[in-house]
Amino acid sequence: MLPKFLLGDNTDFPESIFIVHTEFPRFVINLENDEVEWFDQLEEEPGVDLEKEVAQLILEAEAFYQREVDRYENLD
């Protein structure tokens, strides 16, 4: 079982920090420029506000990142 969110970095993008969402719909957010890369096809479903759902997932990803940063800073 994977965590819902993962932090990632890459030496080819030294200024970027990435958040990976591992559940459906899977995506990666580049926090440097807020670009989102989707791995799964998003489709409208009756009774589901897709825009609202996506916005909520991005807020959760940002909250995850802030929580991780706060925990890291409190290790000192």
Q: What is the pLDDT of residues 45-66, one digit of tens each?
A: 777 788 899 999 999 999 999 9
The per-residue pLDDT for range 12-30, each reduced to its tens digit, is: 999 999 999 999 999 999 9
pLDDT at site 76: 66
pTM confidence score:
0.86
Task: Determine the straight-line distance between the first and last CA of the chain, rounded to whole angstroms.
Answer: 30
Q: Which residues form the domain of 60?
A: 5-73
Structural domain tally of the chain? 1
Residue of 21, 51, 33 lying closest to 8 (CA atoms): 21
Side-chain half-sphere of 47: how many Cα atoms within 13 Å?
0
